[in-house]
Amino acid sequence: MTEKGKTDWRDSNWYIGITGFWFEFKKHKIGIIGIVVLLMFVGMAITAPMLATHDPSPNNKVAPSFLAPSWMSLFDPTGVVTEQRIPDPYFTSNPGYSIVGTTDGQFSSAHGDENSAYGQSHVNLTWSYTAGSELNFTEDPEGQLPDSGDFIYTTQTFDWEYDRLPSDVNITLSFGTTLTGDFASEFGGIMFRVFIWLIDSSGDWQKVYQSNPPYQHDPLSRRIDLNYFDIAAGWRGMVADADGNQEDPLDELTVAIGLAPTSNFETFIGDHPWEYYTGSVTVSITELKMVPYGDYFGLLGTTDKGADAWSQLVYGSRISLIIGILATALSTIVGVVVGMTAGYFGGKTDEILMRIVDFLLVIPGLPLMMVLAAFLGPTIQNIIVVISILGWTGTSRLIRSQVMAEKNKAYVESARAIGASDTYIMYRHILPNVTPILFADITLGVVGAILSESGLAFLGLTDPSEPSWGRMLADAQGTGGFSAGAWWVVVFPGLMITIISLAFTFVGHTLDQVLNPRLRER
């Protein structure tokens, strides 16, 4: 004791100090391995936004369901990785232009500022109409072309050298519109439409997108997922049949984006025919991207909903660490307070608190957590509370037993003799002496919290919009991913749960050996 009644750190149960602690800890290779692995997971969680290649939301479809990881293509000579289908999905080559029908200057095209991926600058397509001008409205029997026989379109062409159709295709188009004159009125948006076509080398047009109002000046992104019939119409002619015959003469496919007036606005104008109106429409295309998907995708393939499994796996480390650490911290605080109160005061206080502990210990943990999670809701905060409710009982019993052994020692009697309060004695003198035993319990508690979260997620009781390893396992199990051959959606999240649990266990075991006086004496 110092002259002010404070315990000298050299007389406490802390193991020699930080330097001495590390000297003993590094003798245990298993503990070093655990720390290295945990640091790797912490680094993964911190750098998740940089490591993830896509939005990690489980519902964010980026490719067809259950595509295999790209590295598996090494074992499949005929397989094609998605990224190899179109090496330049943004079409940074300069686009071409064509005007159908009119040549009197009603339509024009131009490059805009150099700000986007489309041709390294955005593309402007303009339709100008002067009152009294005649428009050529026709009806395409196949429904692939616009109402007007006069329209403008810009094109990008790419090669297709594969013997199979893509498994899926999506096109991302971003464009904004500027209306002038009478077209800027409330009905101006129904006077035109924006189209996307696929044009094969035989000259067949397949309409895959048709815009609808309202429109806005600022660019808005549209994602178009092509259906089977669109894909077949665009690509089948370039794929040779069993006899080696090919319908289209070239392995080329063109993506066309067009601006065309539409005849249906006559219905909305009423007594004023469209011939009396003057104005212009300018469509600014700021992005065009096409991704035909192959047999393989990304670092870890895709999930049941077509989401990127790698991005979910990376962000899942955040959920596991946050819930594991915060739930353990909360349960440890409660367990320490209850254990110290019961052990120090004893009597009826001890009896009441321990009966509560016994009651919670005999209740099956998982069913109770399921009920609480369903009642409170699936948010991360609620899951932390649910896990903490059942996580403090073991800690309280451990602390209680240590406090009962410490409270009758000489240093406690000395503190009482000089008038120290019970609270001061408990938290200033006793707590530092029982803390070393607590460290191992904390690390093992994190393991329990991580496994509890994974179990609740597997049962569908956590937030379905939050990527977690348990949620990945639940989605795979619910859609038969493993039985369908998509083993990567089961193995990798399960492996992450196992590895991080083992890492905490290794560290906890080593802390117990270093800090527990009984184990040090062996």
pLDDT digits (tens, 9 = 90+) for 452-464: 888 888 888 888 8
Q: Determine which of 28-32, 58-62, 185-189, 482-486 has the lowest per-residue pLDDT on average.
A: 185-189
CA atoms within 13 A on the CB side of 92: 7
In the predicted structure, residue 517 carries a pLDDT above the cut 70:
no
The per-residue pLDDT of the chain, averaged, comes to 83
Average pLDDT over residues 438-453: 85
Question: What confidence score (pLDDT) does residue 13 get?
Answer: 47
| Of 118-122, 265-269, 409-413, the least confident | 265-269
User: Which CATH code, of 3.40.190.10, 3.30.70.920, 1.10.3720.10, 3.40.50.720, is assigned to 38-58+304-520?
Assistant: 1.10.3720.10
The residue whose two tokens read 């990376």 is 314
pLDDT cut 90: percent of the chain above it: 20
Provide the CATH number for the domain formed by 83-293 in this structure: 2.60.120.200
pLDDT band at 11 (very low <50, low <70, confident <90, very high): very low
Cα separation, 398 vs 395, whole angstroms: 5
pLDDT at 113: 60
Better-predicted residue by pLDDT, 351 or 161? 351
pLDDT at 52 over 70: yes
Q: Over the stretch 133-192, which tens digit does the pLDDT of each residue have? A: 777 777 777 788 888 888 999 988 888 888 888 888 989 999 999 998 877 875 667 788
In the three-class reduction of DSSP (H, G, I as helix; E, B as strand; rest coil), residue 419 is classed as: coil
pLDDT band at 15 (very low <50, low <70, confident <90, very high): very low
Q: For residue 324, give both structure tokens.
A: 């594991």
Residue 16 confidence (pLDDT) above 60: no
Cβ proximity of 34 and 510 under 8 Å: yes
- Single-letter code of the amino acid located at 47: T
Banded pLDDT at 60 (limits 50, 70, 90): confident
| Predicted pLDDT at 10 | 45
Structure tokens of 225?
């997922």
Cα 465 from Cα 121, distance rounded (Å): 36
**Which residue, among 433, 442, 450, has the nearest Cα to 330 in the 3D structure?**
442
Domain boundaries, the chain: 38-58+304-520, 83-293
What pLDDT was estimated at residue 7? Answer: 45
Residue 200, classed as helix, strand or coil, is: strand
Q: Find out whether 163 and 320 touch, Cβ atoms under 8 Å.
A: no
DSSP 8-state class, residue 280: E
Q: Where are the alpha helices (DSSP H) in 63-170?
A: 82-85
H or E element at residue 288 = strand 279-293
Please tell me which residue, 172 or 61, carries the higher pLDDT value.
172
| Contact by Cβ (8 Å): 407, 342 | no
**Phi, psi dihedrals of residue 217, rounded to the nearest 5°:** -70, -45
> Do 215 and 310 contact (CB within 8 A), yes or no?
no
Q: What angle do CA 383, 389, 395 make, to 5 degrees?
A: 125
Q: What is the pLDDT of residues 85-114, one digit of tens each?
A: 777 787 777 777 788 876 567 888 887 665
User: How is residue 455 written in tokens?
Assistant: 């179990």
Amino acid 103: pLDDT: 55
Q: What is the pLDDT of residues 490-514, one digit of tens each?
A: 899 999 999 999 999 999 888 888 8
What pLDDT is attached to residue 118?
A: 55
- The band of 14, judged by pLDDT with boundaries at 50, 70 and 90, is very low
Tell me if 101 sits within 8 A of 151, measured CB to CB: yes
Residue-wise pLDDT tens digits, 254-305: 999 999 988 765 555 555 555 667 888 999 998 888 888 888 888 999 988 8
